[in-house]
Amino acid sequence: MRVVAGRYAISAELGRGGMGVVWRAEDRVLGRPVALKELATPPGTSLDRVMREARTAGRLNDPAVVTVYDVVSEQGATFIVMELVVAPTLADVVGREGALANDRVAALGLQVLGALESAHRAGIVHRDVKPSNIMVLPGDRVKLADFGIARAMDDPGLTQTGGVMGSPGYMAPELFAGAGPAPASDLWSLGATLFHAAEGRAPFQRTTTAATLHAIMYDQPVLERCRGPLAEAVRGLLTQSTSDRLTAAGARRLLETARTAITDSPTQAVDPASLPTIVFEPVTAKVAAPSPTTVDWDRPRKKRFPLVLAGVAAAVVAALGAIFLLKPTASTPVADAGVTSEPAATSAPSKTASPSHKKSSSPSASATTTPTTSTAAKPDPAKVPLIRFHQKDGGHFSGTKKVGPPGGFTKEGIFGSLVATAEPGTRKLFACKVKDQKDWFTSPDQSGKCEGQQALGLLGNIYADPPSGASARALYRCNAGASHFDSLDAGCEGKKKEFLMGYLVL
């Protein structure tokens, strides 16, 4: 059995990488298990510097830091003696589970951010923050490993032969431009790590090292699943200019918001008028090009919706969007008294015409027998909150207490309210599902047949025009190509708008 420094008895290899080999060992003096990292230092690296900075890292006291116990040098080799943590890395977790929920990513990120803040206050820059250096313990407790070690290298990004050591896809652009490591470069790496956790893929990984470095220097990665304040945090951290990059304090505020944004109890009442405004960024999910979706109430339809896997696009739309519902502002337009900018029916490339949307002429307008008027007296009806839900693999569902979501859905937020009973100026709104597909949608088909698809139940009644004497919001049906979703955004959050369904009261 190999014994290092007459004290640490090595029993097994735990792993190895570009920076060395990690061994499982026992501290014979204290009788505790430890991890022993034998460093592979490039030629020209100062061992004194390695020893000094690793000892500095050992003084860090943060629950999210893998504690450094000792640093020893023996027979030309340097060993970092660390707390033994047996747990999968964040890279392992994402590899096994896929993209993680936004609130979970935010909670994990807050712990890593706290560890970085502790280190930066102590004058230590990690320089190697990445998913494979983050251990995820039971209960999603986090341990950030290799503090002080990466910073101790004279040039940890490049070997003497010009190759990249470690994971350059998580290193800040200024490091490749010759700048020294700094807290801002750790924050960039945190942003890349959060992107990986939320999207299920590395933000800048390309087929060659040169292409990866070019992407880091010049590209802005596209967020497909990450939404709301978490997306804002990721974009702010992945800013090439260090002067414009999000600070630790700014990142903390956004991550704290993202952590709690979609964790409300499903039965908790939320006043939509009190929710903050968020400007939706265009969704750029890679989905099949949507077929023109039209509604012809007089002819049978075989299949009205593009039917591909429902997982990719719909989760992108919401992940945190609905709990931060749009308020009508200049930057987030809502319908102007029911008038939309839909193209004329003759411009649709399909044989059936696109619905026109002048003055509440949604596809169901010809089917309803109740008068459509914006001058109806405002009653005080029983309200039915309309809630948007999402599932992990991408589907969305708009439901009420009358028609709840299928299993596996998580609440995002409340759009506004339907009214429980029909009255002048309202039309029925149904929950529907495309047959044999994971595509849930909402329909104002007054026949209750859900446009030839599967009917799930009556949600309530929606106003055809803004009701007088009451605050209201427009509700749109949108098409993400792989699935359908409802939105308060007149631009359908960057996806295809099908039509204005009506107005919800607040």
SS3 339: strand
SS3 content of the chain, % helix, strand, coil (to 5): 25, 25, 50
Q: For residue 303, how many other CB atoms are within 10 A of its CB?
A: 13
In angstroms, the CA 339 to CA 358 distance is 5
For residue 154, indicate whether it is catalytic: no
Kind of pairing, strands 426-433 and 440-443?
antiparallel
For every residue of 63-110, which 3-state class applies, written as one string? CCECCEEEEEEECCEEEEEEECCCCCEHHHHHHHHCCCCHHHHHHHHH
SS3 186: helix
**Closest C-alpha to 488, from 415, 384, 427, 418:** 415
Produce one character per residue of 185-212: b if its CB has 16 or more CB atoms within 10 Å, e if not: bbbbbbbbbbbbbbbeebbbbeeeeeeb
Task: Output the DSSP codes for 159-185.
Answer: -TTSPBPS-GGGS-HHHHTTPPP-HHH
CA dihedral 223→229→234→235, nearest 10 degrees, is 70
DSSP 357: -
Angle between helices 183-199 and 102-121 (to 10 degrees): 160
In angstroms, the CA 344 to CA 283 distance is 25
What values do phi and psi take at 305, rounded to 5? -120, 145
In angstroms, the CA 204 to CA 195 distance is 10
Single out the catalytic residue among 62, 103, 128, 489. 128
Residues forming the active site: 128
